[in-house]
Amino acid sequence: MSRLGNHPIVVPEGVEVSIKGSKVTVKGPKGEMGITLPDGITAEMDDGALQVSRRNDTRGQKMYHGTYTRHLRNMVNGVSTGHSKSLIVNGKGYQAEVVGKVIEMQIGFSHKVLVEIPEGVEVEVKPGQNTFTLELRSNDKYLVGTFADVLYKLRPVEPYNMIGFRYSDQRVKTKTAKIVTT
């Protein structure tokens, strides 16, 4: 089941990994993260690489092996380079600005939409003509992804005029306008 779990995680320069029992802590220039491994999954450092192994080949152990290997890989990447997501927002009169720990957006409603920025996430607004881009950055991939999803659900992109939020790498199949024939 898990072929990802068999690959070692290369730890770059400047990142320090400490293992105490089932607790793994990763420290780097962008912060510190930790995770507790489930029973049967172990991690060990070997020549600058982190190797995750499982106790046996049962279905549950194989699932945990791949999952926790990926979690550790994301933690190492997060504290060394960080994770980011971009949301492109299209719409006439749409605008946004970051005020303290809140994003104030005018996105086609009768009122401004206020969204609180979670702890550990940095938001940058890049304005454009009838569009703006929200750049989300953090060392925690899960936190960036969930916050991007919260923003996306405010006004998902509609396929006729491409108005709303969309991810920068999202491909939207556009539709033609409905035509009335008489």
CB-based burial label for 25 (10 Å; 0-12, 13-18, 19+): middle
d(CA 92, CA 40): 55
How confident is the model at residue 1, as a pLDDT? 43
Tokens coding 147: 């916050």
If you search the block for the tokens 């703006």, which residue do you land on?
132
3-state secondary structure 24-64: EEEEECCEEEEEECCCCEEEEEECCEEEEEECCCCHHHHHH
d(CA 94, CA 68): 40
What pLDDT, in 10s, does the model give residues 20-35?
A: 999 999 999 999 999 9
d(CA 137, CA 86): 9
* Mean pLDDT, residues 104-126: 94
How confident is the model at residue 2, as a pLDDT? 53
* Mean pLDDT, residues 37-63: 91
What pLDDT, in 10s, does the model give residues 66-105?
A: 999 999 999 999 999 999 999 999 999 899 999 999 999 9
- What percent of the chain clears pLDDT 90, i.e. is strictly above it? 76
Q: What is the dihedral of CA 54, 15, 10, 7, to 10 degrees?
A: 20
What pLDDT, in 10s, does the model give residues 118-166?
A: 999 999 999 988 899 999 999 999 999 999 999 999 999 999 888 999 9
Three-state SS at 101: coil
Helices 59-80 + 141-152 axis angle, to 10: 90
Domains and CATH numbers, the chain: 4-80 (3.90.930.12), 83-167 (3.90.930.12)
